[in-house]
């Protein structure tokens, strides 16, 4: 819905707006709704046999699509997405250019559904029991059991198993890309555990 609002307000397609305002200025030249360059097709992550299903309604990322979703469907690279996240970690600025106000990033990355809202975290609540929700991100409000992981982390998981996280406390971000919906959660926990253990934030006994 927000993607359509952007189209109506700007008079552009969603991709035209994103490309002009974000992708091109940030140097995200490999980010689009499909991979048009045939030379890059061998770089596309393909699912394991057990994972060969549609992700976000997409069966083939090389095929042009009319629908440009505001919430899913972009193809990108770890390097491109890391630049986007670095901009957020910097408070809305990258390479001397400001994309968002620092106050806007702070609002986006703060929990907006605390106990005072009365919103119930039922079994279908995706961010999980240790996180609230900001304006587009799961936001860490308490450490996972037996960890010393910092609060304030914001993150999201892709339907295909990819995930990213931004840790402002440690001035760190992570991007992991895979096409394996059945393996993403397991990999995420193990990878983040190894990262924080190397930083002295290992599991508590």
**pLDDT value for 183:** 75
**pLDDT value for 54:** 56
Instruction: Tell me the pLDDT of the chain (205 aa) as tens digits.
Output: 999 999 999 999 999 999 999 999 999 999 999 999 999 999 988 877 776 655 656 778 899 988 898 888 889 999 999 999 999 999 999 999 999 999 999 999 999 998 899 888 888 888 888 999 999 999 999 988 888 888 999 999 887 888 999 999 999 999 999 888 777 778 888 898 899 989 887 666 5
What is the rounded distance in angstroms from the CA atom of residue 78 to the CA atom of residue 87? 14
Give CATH superfamily name and number for 77-205: DD-peptidase/beta-lactamase superfamily (3.40.710.10)
What is the rounded distance in angstroms from the CA atom of residue 47 to the CA atom of residue 52? 5
Reported in sequence order, the residue ranges of 19-61 that DSSP labels E, i.e. its strands, are none
Contacts of residue 149, defined as CB under 8 A and 6 or more positions apart, other chains included, come to 140, 143, 192, 196, 201
CA angle 13, 56, 139 (to 5 degrees): 90
**pLDDT value for 181:** 79
pTM summary value: 0.89
Q: Is 137 exposed, middle or buried (0-12, 13-18, 19+ CB in 10 A)?
A: buried
**pLDDT value for 188:** 84
**pLDDT value for 158:** 83
């Amino acid at each position: 819905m927000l993607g359509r609002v952007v189209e109506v307000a700007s008079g552009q397609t969603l991709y035209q707006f994103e490309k002009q305002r974000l992708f091109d200025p940030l140097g995200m030249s490999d980010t689009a709704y499909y991979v048009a360059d045939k030379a890059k097709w061998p770089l596309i992550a393909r699912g394991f046999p057990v994972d060969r299903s549609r992700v976000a309604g997409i069966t083939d990322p090389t095929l042009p699509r009319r629908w440009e979703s505001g919430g899913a469907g972009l193809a990108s690279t770890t390097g491109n997405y890391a630049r986007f996240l670095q901009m957020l970690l910097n408070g809305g600025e990258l390479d001397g250019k400001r994309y968002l106000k620092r106050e806007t990033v702070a609002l986006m990355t703060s929990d907006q559904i605390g106990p005072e809202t009365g919103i119930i975290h039922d079994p279908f609540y995706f961010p999980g029991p240790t996180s609230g929700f900001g304006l587009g991100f799961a936001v860490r409000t308490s450490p996972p059991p037996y960890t010393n992981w910092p609060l304030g982390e914001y993150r999201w998981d892709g339907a295909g198993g990819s995930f990213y996280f931004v840790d402002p406390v440690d001035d760190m971000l992570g991007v992991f890309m895979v096409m394996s919906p059945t393996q993403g959660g397991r990999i995420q926990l193990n990878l983040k555990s190894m990262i924080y253990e190397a930083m002295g934030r290992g599991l508590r006994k």
